[in-house]
Structure 1
Amino acid sequence: MLPVGEIRRLARQTLQGRWKEAALLNIIPVLIGFLIVGGAAATFSFFNPDFFNNDLIFGGNPNTDATFSMNIREIISNILTILFATGVSYTLLDMVRNPNYEIVPLKDSLQVFRKGYTIPVLGMYILQWIYMFLWSLLFVIPGIVKSFSYAQTYFIYKDATESGHYLSPTECITRSRELMDGYKWKLFVLELSFIGWHFLGALTLGLGYLFITPYIETSKAIFYEDLLRSR
């Protein structure tokens, strides 16, 4: 597969002259995380095991009401964000595959809703959340490993659906796990290479993700394309 540095270079090349369009495409999911929960940490928080915290379940925490309220807000943010963020990632994958693809920010950010993918995407999100939570009960590391195994689930659903083949959320997750066999570390290194950008996003209270997220998601789209070619 391509080296991480080359993947990032190709992502920058793909976005060259199109950063403004990509930022506008990404404005809805960023603002959801920023306005509903507040701050950069929640902007793309797709997995929150604290919702099943023992204190929350059994009422042992004197601040339970406040904690529950925050968790509900985070869940709402996560659900809305995953729907819009998936539309963003699908658009960037289209752009990686077709350099002449013209981004229409609002229309493309609503891609999941327009194409009727809402329920399947939520199904995939919930199943991944459950699987990762159960794996995390064995310690944190297995849950993290599985999150990389499932990383291509949404892309697999998009490709299967657009080629006329229906795959259930479980089948998409299984295919992602099979596709990522032997490549989880590679994706981990790619993710780790953006840690400095995440710090920058935090320093800008999440607003920096308008430009950071297109860079990261375009890199992931290139990773996926390279992964398909390597199989």
Structure 2
Amino acid sequence: MIIGDIKYSALHSLRGKWGQAFWVSIILAFFFYLIPTGIEIYISGGFWKWLEQDHVPVKADMINSVITLFLFPITAASYWYYLSLARNEHWKTSQLFSVYTTSMAWKLIWTSVLTVVFSLLWGLLLIIPGIVKGTGYSQAYLLLKDHPEFTALQAIRESQERMKEFKMDFFLLNLSFLGWGLLCILSFGIGFLWLVPYMGVANAHFYQKHIHSPEHEAN
């Protein structure tokens, strides 16, 4: 795999679509950053108390964990959005939420829970095996998009099987964005509104090239 080719393809897919990608990032930031932060501030007793505290209140952590659980389908839907860009397919922003109107939402939640549990169990042995296993499970959401008939466990197992030869490639692809990530931090996080879709579409092209390849789909 040539990382430069994957990233070039991602930029090409985003051409003329940056505006929509930006608004998708805004929506994701609202649900995954602003709402949890707002809950922390409220439970802490106000902004200044929240700013001065050394740790997040346990109650806020518990509430945010439950909220995150039910936001997993939006995470998956964002992956599907990036895949639609890689495939040059039409997509509406409302599709981020339409996933909740089907039984797929519960399957995505269960897939996410199993992925986290399996990764943590491997991580109890050693950190590296946990990371490797987590990388192996990384394609489950996209596989469920193309194979909605899969159960959560089937999607995870299929992801692990198809990623056998490509774990290092996937790791290096995402590592190549490290420099951009540091620049985004220096921009107080604003740059992530553009970096996240760039990475998402690059990972979608990786999926198209290696995981959704004809030889895999023929089996």
- TM-score (norm: length of structure 2): 0.82
Structure ranking higher on relative contact order (CA contacts 8 Å, 6+ apart): 1
Separation (CA, whole Å) in 1 of partners of 2:137 and 2:72: 15
1:170 aligns with 2:153: yes
Of residues 65, 68, 76, the one that matches 2:58 is 68
RMSD, aligned α-carbons:
2.3
Aligned to 2:81, the other structure's residue is in SS state helix
| Cα offset, 1:80, TM superposition | 4.7
Alignment correspondent of 1:13: 12
Relative to the length of structure 1, the TM-score reads 0.78
Letter in 1 for 2:192: Y
Higher helix share: 2
Residue-pair matches, total: 199
Q: Which amino acid aligns with 1:189?
A: L
Query: Cα deviation per residue 1:11-69 (whole Å; 9 max; x = unaligned)?
Result: 0000011100111123221122221344xxxxxxxxxxxxxxxxxxxxxxxx9x95523
User: What is the SS of the residue equivalent to 1:182?
Assistant: coil
Unaligned runs of 5+ in 2: 38-52
Alignment equivalent of 1:91, drawn from 81, 87, 108: 81
Aligned equivalents of 1:131 and 1:120: distance in 2? 16
How has the CA–CA distance of structure 1 residues 139 and 67 changed in structure 2, closer, same or farther, with 3 Å as cutoff?
A: farther
Aligned counterpart, 2:173? 190
- Change over 3 Å in CA distance of 1:9–1:147 after alignment to 2: same
Identical-residue share of aligned pairs (%): 26
State the 1:77 CA deviation: 5.1
Aligned partner of 2:192 in structure 1 is: 209
Deviation larger for 82-91 or 117-126: 82-91
Distance 1:92 1:217, change over 3 A: same
Q: Which residue matches 2:91?
A: 103
Contact 1:30 1:209 (8 Å CA) reproduced: no
Paired amino acid for 1:224 = Y
Q: Does structure 2 retain, via aligned residues, the 8 Å contact 1:30–1:206?
A: no
Q: Which amino acid aligns with 1:192?
A: L
Secondary structure of 1:110's counterpart equals helix
Cα distance change of structure 1 residues 112 and 201 upon mapping to structure 2, 3 Å threshold: farther
User: In 1, are the aligned partners of 2:70 and 2:109 still within 8 Å (CA)?
Assistant: no
Q: How far off its partner does 1:192 sit?
A: 0.3
Distance 1:82 1:103 in 2: 19
One-letter identity of the residue aligned with 1:167:
F
Structure-2 change in CA distance of 1:205 and 1:186 (3 Å): same
Q: CA distance change for structure 1 residues 139 and 201 in 2, over 3 Å: closer, same or farther?
A: same
Task: Judge conservation of contact 1:25–1:104 (CA < 8 Å) in 2.
Answer: no
Letter in 1 for 2:11: R
Per the alignment, do residues 197 and 37 of structure 1 end up closer, same or farther by CA in structure 2, a change over 3 Å counting? farther
Tell me what 1:199 maps to: 182
- How far does the alpha carbon of each residue in 1:78-134 deviate from its partner, in whole angstroms, 9 at most, with x for none? 33543222111102212212x2x33322x1222422444210000000001110111
Query: Residue 33 and residue 218 in structure 1: after superposition, are their counterparts in 2 closer, same or farther (change >3 A)?
Result: same
* Alignment correspondent of 1:151: 138
